[in-house]
Amino acid sequence: MGVLAFILDIMIILLFIVFVVLGETGVIPAHKRGFTCGDASISFPFTGDTISAGVVLGSVVVPLFIMWFVEVLRAQSHSSRLAVWKRSLCISLYWFNKFLIGFGVHFALVDAMKSFMGESRPHFLDSCRPQEAINCTVGTFISNFTCTNTEYPVQLVFDSYRSFPSGHSSVGNFVGLFVAWYLYRRFPSTGSKWLVPLFQTLSLIWGVACGITRITDNRHNWWDVLIGGIIGLSFAAYTAKCLCHNFKVFRTSWSDEHLETSSLPLRSENQLLSVTTNGKDDVNSQCA
Determine the straight-line distance between the first and last CA of the chain, rounded to whole angstroms: 20
**pLDDT above 90 as % of the chain:** 67
How many domains is the chain partitioned into structurally?
2
Kindly report the pTM of this predicted structure: 0.85
Residue at 38 is within a domain: no
Three-class SS state of 171: helix
Do 73 and 140 reside in the same domain of the chain? no
Task: Kindly state the average pLDDT of the residues 91-109.
Answer: 93
Q: What is the pLDDT of residues 168-197, one digit of tens each?
A: 999 999 999 999 999 999 999 888 899 999
Do 79 and 157 reside in the same domain of the chain? no
Which pLDDT belongs to residue 264?
A: 33
Distance from C-alpha of 65 to C-alpha of 69, rounded to nearest angstrom? 6
Residue at 279 is within a domain: no
Do 157 and 250 reside in the same domain of the chain? no
Do 249 and 167 reside in the same domain of the chain? yes
159 pLDDT above the threshold of 90: yes
Task: Kindly state the average pLDDT of the residues 272-278.
Answer: 40
Left if phi > 0, otherwise alpha if psi is -120 to 50, otherwise beta: which for 51?
beta
Residue at 31 is within a domain: no
Which pLDDT belongs to residue 21?
A: 86
Instruction: Give the type of residue at 253.
Output: S
Do 153 and 229 reside in the same domain of the chain? no
Higher pLDDT, 37 or 25: 37
Residue at 244 is within a domain: yes
- Domain range holding 94? 49-119+162-256
- Taking CA atoms, 74 is separated from 13, 62, 68, 185, 187, in Å, by 31, 19, 10, 12, 8
CA dihedral sign of residues 32, 33, 34, 39: negative
Distance from C-alpha of 198 to C-alpha of 119, rounded to nearest angstrom? 37
∠248-254-255 over CA atoms, to 5°? Answer: 40
Cα 198 to chain centroid, rounded: 21
Higher pLDDT, 256 or 172: 172
Do 237 and 131 reside in the same domain of the chain? no
Residue at 151 is within a domain: yes
